[in-house]
Structures are given as C-alpha cells and as structure tokens.
Amino acid sequence: MFTEDALSAPPVTIPVDILRFNTCGSVDDGKSTLIGRLLYDSKSLMEDQLEALERSADITGGGQINLANLTDGLRAEREQGITIDVAYRYFATPRRKFIIADTPGHVQYTRNMVTGASLSNLSIVLVDARLGVIEQSRRHTALAALLRIPHLVVAINKMDLVGWSEARFHEIRAQFEEFLPRLAIKDVKFIPLSALNGDNVVEPSVHTPWYVGPTLLGHLESVHIASDWNLSGFRFPVQWVNRPHNPKDAALHDFRGFSGQIAGGIVRASQKVVALPAGITTTVKQIWTYDGPVPEAFCPQSVTLVLEHDIDISRGSMLIGLDDNLPGASSDLQAEICWMHPRPLQKGKKYYLKHTAQTVQVVVAEITHRLNLSTFDAEPEPAELAVNDLGQVRLRAAKPLVFDGYATNRLTGSFILIEPGTNATVAAGMLHPPREVVKPENGDYVI
Amino acid sequence: MPSYHLDHLQHLETEAIHIMREVAGEFERPALLFSGGKDSICLLRLAEKAFRPSDLPTPLLNVDTGHHFPELNEFRDRRAKQLGAKLIVRTVEDAIAKGIAQPAPGEISRNQLQIPVLLAAIEEFRFDCCIGGARRDEEKARAKERFFSFRDSFGQWDPKNQRPEIWNLYNGRLNPGENMRVFPLSNWTEMDVWEYIKREKLEVPSIYFSHRRSAVRRAGQWLPVNDLIPPRPNEEVRELTVRVRTIGDIISTGLVESPAEDVDDIIAEIAAARVTERGSRADDKASEAAMEDRKKAGYF
C-alpha cells in the first residue's frame, strides 16, 4: 500500500495479518526518529505529510527534516521535544499491516508503555550505542517480559556514533544476555542500526558487513506471530444480554442470546457449557451472528450464544467449556501489578477491579513484594507501591472472579484497578494461576 | 480442518464489536454520531453486528452545520429509516437562533460552531457516551486518542491526563456531568474502511464517486461552487469530473479529480494515493495544531 510502485503493481492483495508492536527507550534514544524512518523509507508517508515536515524544518530545524516531528503530534511535545503520550501509527507493506504504539521513555510515563504494549506481538527496546544498557533498558525489557510480549527486538541505535564498532555491538548484547535469562522472554533479536541515517531500518547498511541478520523492517515482516490467541480452553465473558422483546415477530419474541467476545478456545453448536459463577450446565443451541448462524466460533470472534435452558446469566457471567482447561473461581487473588498513579497503593485500601466484563470491589490484603527493576530482586513487604512500581499483591474481592493465570490467557488473566471517586485507572494487574480450578463434574454444578 | 485464522478486517471488526457492546454494558444513555459519511456508515454496520437481532440500543445523533452536502443529509435520513433507528438532528442554525452558539464576526465557516451544538445536545438528552467514527490514522492529534476518551464536565479533552488503556479493559466510570467519547474505528485506516465497505456491500453517498461538478480554485484546492462563498471574479471556475475523499462542510471539502466509479476504483486510487485523506480538508490546514485545539474544546 502507498508505495510508488503501486500504480504498476498487480491488483491490491489484502494483507493476511496484523503485527502490533511498540517502541520503547529513554529520552533521546531516537524512538520517534526510528518510526519516522520506518514510515519514510517504506514510502508510507504522503506528500502533504512531507510538506508539513519540510515546513516545520524551515521554522525549527535549520533546514534539516526532523523525522521525530511525524509522531510528536501535540504542540506541547514539539515545544518540549518530548513524547507525552502513546501515539499510534499505521502502515502496511505488501506482506503485512502494522500498528505501532510509540510509547515514551520518561521514567514517569511507564503507564504509557504498559498501555501501548499490552496487546503487542513485539516490543522494540531502543538502546543508545554510546550508553549501552541503562536502567531504562532493563525496566522496559522487564515490563515487556512481565506483559508476556512474545517477541523482543533490541535495536542498538546510533551505531554511526560508535564508528559502527562490531565489538561495541557485542558488548551491549552481552549486557542484555546477563539479565535476559531471568525474564520470561523466549525470542530476542539484536539489530545494529542508525535511525537518523536509515542504516538497517528498511535498507541494509553498508557499514555493518559483520552483521548478517535482517533489517528491522525485514524482521517485522517475517517474524512468526504464531497465534497469540489462546485456542485451548473455551472462555466467553458475557458482555450484553441480547433480548429483542419484539412483539411483532414471533421468532424474536422469545429470543434470548448472550453477546460477547470469545476470550479463549473454540465453541461449537450443541456442545455443553457451564455458566459461572452460577455453576449451571447447559447446551449451546445456536451460535448467532449477523451474517447467519455458524457451526463453530473461536477466540477472538464476537458472537451471540443462544442456550438450551433459560438460566439466569447477566453481564459479568462467564461461559466455559467442559474440558481439561478449567479456570479458577476465587475471591482471593494474587497478582503482579504495575502501579500507575501518583497516589500510592497502600494495604487496606479499596478499589474497583475490572476483569473481563465485570467490575467488583476489592481490598488490598497484602503487598507481598516490590520488584527492584535494577536488580530484578523482590523486596518483601514494602509499605506501599509508588507510581511506576511493579510488585506483587494479594487482593480480596467482594465476590469470586472466574479467571485464568495471565501466562495462560491474557484476556481472562488481566485486570485494571480503578480508584473510587476520581475513577482514575490506577493499576494494571496480571493474575497468578488459580490455586484450585472449578469442579463442574460436582453434582452442585448441574441442574 | 478449519484454520482458526482471522484476517485483518475480521480482527478490526471483532475489536470494534467488543467496544460497542462494552458501551451498551457500561453506559446508561449512549448515542451514536452518524453523519452519513463513510466512517459512520461502517460504525452503523458494526452496531448492527453487535446488537442484532435487537434494536440498536442507541439513537443516532447528527450536528447539522447547515453547510452539509444535500446528498449527505438525504443519505443520512434514508439510512436511519432503513435501520429503524431513532435519528436526532440538532442544527447550528437553531443553536444560533437560541443563543447557544455565537458566530465570530465575519466567519462563514461553521466548523467551530459544531462544538457548542454537540455539547448542548449531550446536555439536552443527558447522553453519557457518544460513539464516533474517528480514526487514529486521520491526523496527528487523533493518533493520541484512546478508544474510551474521557471528557470533563466542559466536554474538554486533556491529552496529558488520559486514562491508561490496557488490554481490552475499558474504564467507563463517570461522575455526573462527565462524558465519554468512544471510537471503535481507532485502529482502522482509510483503506480498511473502504475494504470493509466492499466486503459488507455497504451503500455510500453518491458524492464519493466520480461526478461532474462546478469547482472553484481556492487556496490550492478545488472546492464545490456554492452560494455561501460564491466565486470571486479573480477565481478560476471549472467544470470537472471529481469525487470527495473525505466529507466536511461544502465550503471546506476539497474535490479530488477522479474517474473512480465504484468501490474497487476507490480502493485502487487510495492504494496509489500520494496525499493523505485530510490533505483535502481546509479546516485542518489552518495551523499545525488545528485539530488539537478543536478536540480540547470538545470536538469529536
């Protein structure tokens, strides 16, 4: 899309998938420049965008086009030369569509990185080749690991300023490899580049004959994004009860469906499902969609399920399949959290917790530890968690949640905390696996 | 053996349906902003997919500047009727008469005046949420927008103080007087919109397709000849074969010379395009921060 060759190219083919990635690094690591370079060199920029860039270059850049101006969208950012919020960018090559979340590197903006990265397939951690690994690099890598982002790229930028030194590249790689084994990241790629000059971003660099790997874009286009979606245990959080109450149409008069997005697994018409937390077993009568009924549906499709029995289910209920992958149901929750608000988290405080399609009240029973991001050590029982702290907590909920461990299912294993009164979103949480799973074969669960 | 694979449009679709249903689940009185433009046409189809066989749980709301293309309003009214949806139209004209909106002296454009009219409609019907068709790829300020965009009791957007949005967990909690704008198409590009229109066989207003029209050359663009700002003697007027790429008011919508007669032609044209969609909107060119300023004041 949008390449100059498009006119002569064969008819537009629809890209088969979407890769979501985010960029992180500290101030001046060149994140915005890198994104600008990706867009510029992949010919994803339009003439009016280039004109606007050139106009601002005349005014502020002394004639030099500043690629960072492409992403630093707000006036305050341009004035201060920083990125203050997550910005999303879109581009496509003939092989893939890309959604970029440009996430700022300031220490106080960790919440934005979590926001931008939570659904990413891949994270790019930028490192200034002159500085090597700094606390920010470790923090960003740890966050990507904690969020279970499947792929990591360490982009060692500003290689031109260290004379394209292969030794320096390996030195920084070794710095990363010291702590990577302690983190849950399986796929890591190191790429030496210069975002400013475009080396190894889209085009291979002549300065790095010692580097035989792909360019950044080459890697983004080809990295295997094995389905991030969990297809093994059926989970269906009910978002909305679909009752037409249509007095004119007999077929619709009694229609009662449950609408939601499948958060895990596969569902088939006429299979047995259990409604939780009620614990009632029933059968899927029909998988209703606007385009007609379907025999089966899978994560992350949005559908409406019609059930055999008229049971009391509402927003916040969860339908699950009867297989080996069962969720837990508990009001005693253990989780890793990222605290995002200037008012610290304290033991005994109450919050709203939003999980799938329900919101419940919780109280902080315990702050088990705080994670020191420089050493990756757990500091037991801190008095509080401050903004941008990561830690482990135990929460007691006003009613049981039906959940999975975050490592098993991102959608049924995650939650946010909301501060009552201000309604601010104050934390992102990742649940530990349940200590016990529900037991649907128990007589109590069947009508 | 089924592949259990969704293509990019199916991904965008299920994401948008999930957001629509979160709105129905979390808000008391939501509205859906429907102009008849291509983005809000997709929004309506997504609402059908989210809520059928029930009726749409939201009325449709449109702020009519009085400077709309007549083709657009005709389409808007017809489509709302087809869907059996309730359509609420509030006009800038009426707002000026009632003193809700005050035009700046000498200003003909009603772009700025949409803001107080929208805010007054929100107050009149006590809407707590407005679903809109804005996309992040449209403009730099929109690239920083959340799916659930919180507005204070003055309708203002504070870009430095947005709620973090993590996974697919949207925080829709409000205090009285506050408001949410929700943008299910945030991750869609112009190309995605047209590919979806094609896949879903959606009707769009005729002005998106090539037609003959008198155009006046103004500030580097061809604009429709209209009675509001008639051509001045020194301005060039020509009969051209054109279409619109994005629809704003009739006085600010740039015409694109184009032979595109159907959706396939439009898709091919966008694939080869060298300027962005909003490159044809005079209202965004006013200054580098034009959209940012309007959004902060309560614009969609």
Q: pLDDT at residue A110 above 90?
A: no
Tell me the two tokens of residue A388. Answer: 């941008």
Distance CA A296, CA B87 (A): 36
Mean pLDDT of A103-124: 79
| Interval B36-76: pLDDT, tens | 999 999 999 999 999 999 999 999 999 999 999 999 999 99
In angstroms, the Cα distances linking A189 to A119, A145, A164, B59, B235 are 19, 14, 18, 50, 58
Q: Are B97 and B113 in contact (CB under 8 A)?
A: no
**pLDDT at res. A414:** 98
Q: Is pLDDT at A112 greater than 70 in this prediction? A: yes
CA distance A65 to A56: 8
- Answer whether residue A417 shows pLDDT above 80: yes
Determine whether the interchain pair A290/B163 forms a contact, defined as Cβ–Cβ distance below 8 Å: no
pLDDT (tens digit per residue) in B178-224: 999 999 999 999 999 999 999 999 999 999 999 999 999 998 899 99
Average pLDDT of chain B? 90
Which is nearest to A315 in space by CA: A395, A261, A255? A261
Which residue from A105, A109, A114 is spatially nearest to A31, judged by alpha carbons? Answer: A105
How far apart are alpha carbons A356 and B169 in whole angstroms? 7
pLDDT at A13 over 60: no
| Parallel/antiparallel/unpaired status of strands B30-33 and B60-64 | parallel
Task: Pick A418's closest partner by Cβ from B9, B55, B173.
Answer: B173
pLDDT digit string, tens, across residues A20-60: 999 887 767 787 788 888 888 777 777 777 777 666 655 44
- Sheet containing strand A151-157, edge to edge, reads A87-92, A97-102, A18-24, A122-128, A151-157, A187-192
Question: Which residues neighbour A48 within 8 Å (Cβ) at sequence distance 6 or greater?
Answer: B275, B276, B278, B279
Q: Do B171 and A423 touch (CB under 8 A)?
A: yes
Helices B190-199 + B38-51 axis angle, to 10: 60
Q: So what's the pLDDT on residue A11?
A: 44
Residue A107: the pLDDT is 54
Q: Are the beta carbons of A367 and A382 closer than 8 angstroms?
A: yes
DSSP readout, A65-130? --GGGGT--SHHHHHHTS--S-EEEEEE-SS-EEEEEE----GGGHHHHHHHHTT-SEEEEEEETT
Q: Which of B 106-145 lie inside 8 A of A, CB atoms?
A: 136-137, 140-141, 143-144
Residues A290, B49 contacting (CB under 8 angstroms): yes
Confidence of residue A81 (pLDDT cuts 50, 70, 90): low
Instruction: Say whether B165 and A315 touch across the interface (CB within 8 A).
Output: no
Q: Which residues contact A17 (CB under 8 A, 6 or more apart)?
A: A96, A97, A225, B5, B7, B8, B11
Q: What is the pLDDT of residues B90-121, one digit of tens each?
A: 999 999 999 888 888 888 888 888 999 999 99
Please provide the average confidence, as pLDDT, over all residues in chain A.
86
b/e map of A379-401 (b: 16 or more CB within 10 Å)? eeebebbebbbbbbbbbebeebb
Selection from A360, A384, A388 nearest residue A373 by Cα: A388
CB B133 within 8 A of CB B183: yes
Q: H-type helices in A107-256, by residue range?
A: 110-117, 135-146, 166-179, 216-222, 250-253
| Best residue of A235, A259, A294, A356 to probe chain B, by most B CBs closer than 10 Å | A259
| Residue B11 at interface with chain A, using a CB cutoff of 8 Å | yes
% of chain A beyond a pLDDT of 70: 85
The predicted pLDDT at position A36 comes to: 83
Q: Is the pLDDT of residue A132 over 90?
A: yes
pLDDT of A249 reads: 80
What is the ipTM metric for this complex? Answer: 0.91
Instruction: Using only the alpha carbons of chain B, give its radius of gyration.
Output: 19
Residue type, B213: R
Residues of B with Cβ-Cβ distance to A12 under 8 angstroms: 267-268, 271
- At A227, the amino acid letter reads S
Q: What is the pLDDT of residues A134-178, one digit of tens each?
A: 888 888 898 899 899 999 999 999 999 999 999 999 999 999 999
Q: Do residue B24 and residue A255 have CB atoms under 8 angstroms apart? A: no
Q: Under DSSP, is residue B49 helix (H, G, I), strand (E, B) or coil? A: helix
Please indicate whether, in this complex, the C-beta atoms of B53 and A246 are within 8 angstroms of each other: yes
CB contact under 8 A, B289 and A75: yes
- List, in order, residues 6 or more apart from A339 with CB less than 8 Å away: A345, A385, A386, A387, A388, A389, A390, A391, A426, A427
CB-CB under 8 Å, B171 with A418? yes
Please tell me the class of the B8-200+289-296 domain. alpha beta
Q: Which is nearest to B246 in space by CA: B217, B221, B212?
A: B221
| Predicted local confidence at residue A445, as pLDDT | 44
Strands B129-131 and B87-91: what pairing? unpaired
Q: What are the structural domains of chain A?
A: 4-222 (3.40.50.300), 235-321 (2.40.30.10), 328-431 (2.40.30.10)
Per DSSP, what are the bridge partners of residue A330? A401
pLDDT at A10 over 90: no
Maximum CA pair distance of chain A? 78
Q: Give the bridge partners for B89, in sequence order.
A: B62
Q: Is the pLDDT of residue A15 over 70?
A: no
Parallel/antiparallel/unpaired status of strands A122-128 and A151-157: parallel
C-alpha gyration radius of chain A:
25
Confidence at residue A348, expressed as pLDDT on a 0 to 100 scale: 96
What does the pLDDT read at residue B131? 98
* pLDDT value of residue A135: 84
Question: How far does B14 lie from chain A, in Å, by closest CA?
Answer: 5
Of B289 and A213, the structure prediction assigns the larger pLDDT to A213
The verdict on whether omega for the bond into residue A277 sits within 30 degrees of 0, i.e. cis, is: yes
Q: Which two tokens stand for residue A91?
A: 């581009």
User: Which is higher by pLDDT, A18 or A47?
Assistant: A18
Report whether A80 contacts A71 (CB < 8 A): no
**Measured between alpha carbons, how far is residue B185 from residues A259, A431, B49, B112 in Å?**
20, 29, 14, 24
Tokens encoding A134: 């700094």
Q: Which pLDDT belongs to residue B203?
A: 97
The highest-confidence range among A96-100, A249-253, A298-302, by mean pLDDT, is: A298-302
Lowest-pLDDT choice from A100-114, A230-244, B229-243: A100-114
Helix (H) / strand (E) element for A41: namely: helix A31-41
Q: Where are the domains of chain B?
A: 8-200+289-296, 206-283
Higher pLDDT, A374 or A20: A20
- Please, which residues have CB within 8 angstroms of residue B277's CB and are 6 or more apart in sequence? B138, B190, B245, B246
Closest in A89, A298, A357 to B25, CB measured: A357
pLDDT at B145 over 80: yes
What is the pLDDT, as a whole number, of residue A79?
Answer: 58
Residue with tokens 């009149």: B124
Q: What pLDDT score was predicted for residue B284?
A: 54
